[in-house]
Structure formats: structure tokens, C-alpha cells
Amino acid sequence: MDVLILIGSVVLLLLGLAGCIVPGLPGPPIAWIALPLLRLHSNTEIHPENNTLLIYGFAVLLITVLDYYLPIWGTRRYGGTNAGKRGSIVGLILGLFVPVFGPLTIILGPFAGAVIGELIGGSDEHTAWRSGLGTFIGFMAGTLIKIAICFLIIAKFVGLLFI
């Protein structure tokens, strides 16, 4: 049973890391589940403490909420409109399913979508490009923060097992 718990935890950590990039898949919360799952392991020395679970859980919750806000903040900060926000969402989804430039399409999709959305919404080119830049900055900030917390969770998991 312990082996299944460890395999399940590792799968959750990897899914969580993938979820940092894939929209609709909440990466950090999925990765965090690997920590309380360790409490089912028969070796009590590797069980994370309650404080650890609460601190990491709070950080994951905060980052998850912040991740939804950062692209909107970036778009607004750089003068974008709702058309740019909707366009960035469409661009992100298309970037996942139409990988013209490989993984780079996932990064460029929201930017291009925001620019196109602004242009379709009637904004001038300058506003459209600024909106795209803001969306890109917000998306990248959210992604980097999610990746960072997932790596902290992975480091804690590995530390509990081997240290």
C-alpha cells in the first residue's frame, strides 16, 4: 500500500507541475494534495506536520486566487479592455490545441489573443499591443509563481522522504 501512496503522490506532483501551464488544471492545489497523502504512509517519520500542511495550503490558496487576477491586472494596467481579456483566453486555449510553435505557442497565444481581441473590439493598434503586453506579463508572472510553489512542494516532499 505504501508503494501505491508514493506512486500516487508522485503522479499528483507531476500533474500539478503540468497544471502550472495547462489552463483549467489547478496545478498547485493538485501538487499540494501529495503532502497530506503522505500521511497515509505507514512510516510516520515521513508524515508532514499539521503546520506544514496549513502553511503550504494557505500559500497554494493565495497563489491560486492571485493567478486568476494577474492577467486581468496586467491587461488593465496596460490599458486593455474586456475584448483583450476575452481574446487572451481564446488565445491561450488555441495555443494549447494548435501548437504551431510547440510549447512557445502556449506562451504567445494569450498575447496574440489579447492583441487580436482588442483590434476586433475597436481599439487602436497601440492600445492593442499594450494590452497584449500586459496580458503576457500577467500570464507569465502567474505561471512563474505557480511553478515556484510547485517546486517548493516537490522539495518538501523529497525532503520528507529522504532527509
What are the structural domain ranges in the chain? Answer: 2-162
- Joined grid coordinates for residue 87: 481574446
- Joined grid coordinates for residue 138: 500577467
Residue 21: CB partners within 8 Å, gap ≥ 6?
Answer: 27, 103, 106, 143
pLDDT tens for residues 71-106?
A: 778 877 888 888 888 888 888 788 878 777 767 777
Look at residue 72 in the predicted model and tell me its pLDDT.
Answer: 76
Q: Would you say residue 107 has pLDDT above 90?
A: no
pLDDT tens for residues 30-84?
A: 999 999 999 999 999 999 999 999 999 999 999 998 887 887 788 778 888 888 8
> Comparing 112 with 93, which gets the higher pLDDT?
112
What average pLDDT does the structure give for the chain?
89
CA 79/CA 131 separation, integer angstroms: 6
Look at residue 14 in the predicted model and tell me its pLDDT.
Answer: 97
Overall residue count recorded for the chain in this entry: 163
Look at residue 79 in the predicted model and tell me its pLDDT.
Answer: 84
The answer to whether the CB of 31 falls within 8 A of the CB of 16 is yes
pLDDT band at 13 (very low <50, low <70, confident <90, very high): very high
The answer to whether the CB of 89 falls within 8 A of the CB of 50 is no
Look at residue 73 in the predicted model and tell me its pLDDT.
Answer: 82
3-state secondary structure of 118: helix
Look at residue 59 in the predicted model and tell me its pLDDT.
Answer: 97
pLDDT band at 144 (very low <50, low <70, confident <90, very high): very high
Look at residue 84 in the predicted model and tell me its pLDDT.
Answer: 85
